[in-house]
Amino acid sequence: MKSKQLYLCKNYSHMKCLLLSVSLLFSLCLSAQQKPTDLDKSPMDMSYWPANYPILKMSGKAKDVPVARVIYGRPLKSGRDIFGGIIK
């Protein structure tokens, strides 16, 4: 006597498709739980010499590379204690 076996998928390609669908659904549920990071309290700023170099570069009028480029962060208080509360 042969016993009947119950299969979820009749062939291998259907099984691969089902496994892929389940794994994508599971990964989508996990990635939906992540929260975005907060904005930085001290934003980055950039300064060039010549001063209008990015505008010249975008318009195609820049003939040379910039002489200097300074990247810096401007510290903002944003509700933080600075120097132990001395500065208000």
Residue 78 tokens, joined: 């944003």
58 against 74, higher pLDDT = 58
In a domain, 7, yes or no: no
What average pLDDT does range 47-60 have in this prediction?
Answer: 83
Range from 10-14, 45-49, 74-78, 83-87 that averages highest in pLDDT: 45-49
In a domain, 64, yes or no: yes
In a domain, 21, yes or no: no
Beta-bridge partners for 49: 68
Separation CA 54–CA 47 (nearest Å):
10
Query: Does 1 have pLDDT greater than 60?
Result: no
What residue numbers bound the domain in which 62 lies? Answer: 44-77
- What integer pLDDT is reported at residue 8 of this predicted model? 64
Contacts of 73 (CB under 8 A, 6+ apart): 42, 43, 44, 45
Q: Considering its fold, how many domains does the chain have in total?
A: 1
The structure's pTM equals: 0.35
